[in-house]
Amino acid sequence: MVNNKARPYILVTNDDGISAPGIHALIMELKKVADIIVVAPSTEKSAVGHAITLSDPLRVDNFEKGDDWKGFSVSGTPADCVKIAVCSLLDKKPDLVLSGINLGANTGINVIYSGTVSAATEGAILGIPSIAVSLTTYINPIFEPAAKYAAKMALHLFETGLAEKTLLNINVPNITENEIKGVKVTKQGMARFAEKFEKRIDLKNRVYYWLGGSKADLDEPDDVDDKVVENNYISITPIQYDMTNYEVLEELKERIPDLDE
Amino acid sequence: MVNNKARPYILVTNDDGISAPGIHALIMELKKVADIIVVAPSTEKSAVGHAITLSDPLRVDNFEKGDDWKGFSVSGTPADCVKIAVCSLLDKKPDLVLSGINLGANTGINVIYSGTVSAATEGAILGIPSIAVSLTTYINPIFEPAAKYAAKMALHLFETGLAEKTLLNINVPNITENEIKGVKVTKQGMARFAEKFEKRIDLKNRVYYWLGGSKADLDEPDDVDDKVVENNYISITPIQYDMTNYEVLEELKERIPDLDE
């Protein structure tokens, strides 16, 4: 338990890039209650999953958002940002990692493609209570409720801590605070994009493909992330990164072939 | 249950790139027992995690490995390859997805950074029994036992199927078949690289960082992936992609703050 009269020291990152409006909205709210350090990708890194950069050098540059805040931009992924911040750039370990505010929900199967979530996962791997925050829109974002709730949850975790190897994945509907019905703890749904690749011809008459599609409407229970945000609640999913399927494990032992049988 | 006298139709991919020796070794073995289609990244994509390409067009080119096999190279990630193969390039859904043989173990925390595993995860998401195969070395690979066991496991899954939303993550020690002690079903360990960034100066006197470090030796039980391959067994971990932490879920419901409290 940390002395809750102290201000938490929070590492802020995202996957939309350090210049994105979502991280700015988050920082401006967090600044009121915490000491902030910003280390975020220099450019947009959407759908990078839990990627880390092994084969290229990472560049780190100073970044200033007018008089509002300063930070470091990194030529890597969100997970790179958290790793290099904690392992190299910062003098002391942050109390919390906050990643967001992402444009676009990170719910259902999207969770495993999400750079926003991967930054918080990296924080959890490094032993730091971590939160990913996403907004369910790409256009006309209403950041205030998400920023406000993220700051509130940050203070809450600073006081109470969070289970080991766990992070919180928060998704906020893009409506005003008055329209938000409340907060629900959810499980990750299995909704995924019904993938469609569009085949196109470029200016040199060469074929290329572009990934599109819309989210398949699954018949899922009411307590999954996608349903809860659809119903105008904030969704909080506790996420962990042990991917073992324990249910299948024992059954598999009985039947796997040996190498030389 | 599929008629096991038919040959399975297997989609083969990897994250070391379509020209890598590991995918060639895998294909040459699989060809003996299955019909193969190869769709793999045009270049190395290590540590890309479960990335998909949203903001760039994907290019698909024909690829020929001498007289041995033909396939398609894709300018994207391993997950892109599986997605575009199943959703666009192939006339019929493959019976299995095999991803590998990767150079370097995909055990412990590495599983969540792994492009090799992400390709198999994508297969599982698309409803196809899928296998990732990795070898515990970067140099002097002995591919034969891994290739042989992958082919054996492929035929086994073709006969028996695999639980929904589950894939198999196979890691093989880099020793000869005679030296391999057997096969064990394992859980994902929590061993991770003790991250260290080396700070260097480039030819223009600019600072850059390079990610390095060695795997921390955790005191883990004998039935985790890392320990099992260390002890000269083949490790098979059933992996799933629902990342919800169900243990924490109920406890969290009791204590999360509301938006307006």
- The tens digit of pLDDT for each residue in A107-117 reads 999 999 999 99
Helix (H, G, I), strand (E, B) or coil at B17: coil
CA–CA dist A226, A110 (Å, integer): 10
First-last CA distance in chain B: 55
What's B9-190+220-255's CATH class?
Answer: alpha beta
Please report, for residues A260, B224, B246, B259, the alpha-carbon distance to residue A242 in angstroms, rounded to integers and kept in the order given: 30, 11, 12, 30
The verdict on B90 touching A (C-beta cutoff 8 Å) is: no
The verdict on A242 touching B (C-beta cutoff 8 Å) is: yes
Which of B187, B259, B260 to probe the A interface (max A CBs under 10 A)? B259
pLDDT band at B36 (very low <50, low <70, confident <90, very high): very high
Q: Could B58 and A259 be called an inter-chain contact, meaning their C-beta atoms sit closer than 8 Å?
A: no
User: What's the whole-number mean pLDDT along residues A114-129?
Assistant: 96
More confident residue, B34 or A6: B34
CB within 8 Å of A249: residues ≥ 6 apart: B185, B187, B238
Mean pLDDT of chain A: 93
What's the gap in Å between the CA of B50 and the closest CA on chain A? Answer: 5
Residue B215 has pLDDT above 90, yes or no: no
CA–CA dist B197, B111 (Å, integer): 21
How many contiguous H segments (helices) and E segments (strands) does chain A have?
7, 11
Which residue in B185, B195, B208 is closest to A253 by CB distance? B185
pLDDT band at A1 (very low <50, low <70, confident <90, very high): very low
Strands (E), chain A: 9-13, 35-41, 60-65, 69-74, 96-103, 130-135, 166-172, 182-185, 193-201, 207-215, 233-240
**Which residue's structure tokens are 């119903």?**
A231
pLDDT of residue B26: 98
Residue-wise pLDDT for A146-176, tens only, equals 999 999 999 999 999 999 999 999 999 999 9
Cβ atoms within 10 Å, residue B110: 24
Please report, for residues A193, B58, B135, B151, the alpha-carbon distance to residue B174 in angstroms, rounded to integers and kept in the order given: 38, 34, 6, 17
Residue A3 has pLDDT above 60, yes or no: no
CA–CA dist A41, A74 (Å, integer): 5
CA-closest candidate to residue B257, choices A165, A249, A38, A159: A159
Question: Which of A35-44, A249-258, B113-122, B176-185 comes out lowest in average pLDDT?
Answer: A249-258
Question: Which of A24-28, A43-47, A186-190, A199-203 comes out lowest in average pLDDT?
Answer: A43-47
Q: What are phi and psi of A186, to 5 degrees?
A: -130, 170
Q: Could B258 and A48 be called an inter-chain contact, meaning their C-beta atoms sit closer than 8 Å?
A: no
Task: List CB contacts (< 8 A) between A244 and chain B.
Answer: 187-188, 237-240
Residue A156: HSE in the Cβ half-sphere, 13 Å Cα cutoff: 18
Residue B213 has pLDDT above 90, yes or no: no
**pTM, to two decimals:** 0.93
CB within 8 Å of B129: residues ≥ 6 apart: B95, B96, B97, B123, B157, B158, B161, B162, B167
Long-range contacts of B196-199 (CB under 8 A, 24+ apart): B196/A87, B197/A58, B197/A83, B197/A84, B197/A87, B197/A88, B199/A88
Q: Is the previous residue joined to B101 through a cis bond, with omega within 30 degrees of 0?
A: yes
The residue count of chain B comes to: 261
Task: List CB contacts (< 8 A) between A50 and chain B.
Answer: 49-50, 112-113
Q: Report the run of H or E that residue B209 belongs to, with start and end.
A: strand B207-215
A/B interface, count of CB pairs below 8 Å: 238
Mean pLDDT of chain B: 93
Rg from Cα positions in chain B: 20
More confident residue, B160 or B191: B160
pLDDT of residue A191: 85
> Cα angle vertex B40, ends B39, B43, to 5°?
150
CA-closest candidate to residue B41, choices B80, B10, B67: B80
pLDDT of residue B5: 66
Q: Could B246 and A187 be called an inter-chain contact, meaning their C-beta atoms sit closer than 8 Å?
A: yes
ipTM value, please give it: 0.90
More confident residue, A243 or A5: A243
Q: Which residues pair with B69 in a beta bridge?
A: B65
Helix (H, G, I), strand (E, B) or coil at B69: strand
Task: Tell me which chain B residue has its CA closest to the CA of residue A144.
Answer: B259
Q: Could B113 and A59 be called an inter-chain contact, meaning their C-beta atoms sit closer than 8 Å?
A: no
Q: Could B152 and A259 be called an inter-chain contact, meaning their C-beta atoms sit closer than 8 Å?
A: yes
High-pLDDT (> 70) share of chain A, %: 97
Residue-wise pLDDT for B42-83, tens only, equals 998 887 888 888 878 999 999 999 999 999 999 999 999 999
CA–CA dist A17, A44 (Å, integer): 5
What's A9-188+220-243's CATH class?
Answer: alpha beta
Which residue in A49, A111, A208 is closest to B243 by CB distance? A111
More confident residue, A161 or A55: A161
pLDDT band at A5 (very low <50, low <70, confident <90, very high): low
Write down the domain spans for chain A: 9-188+220-243
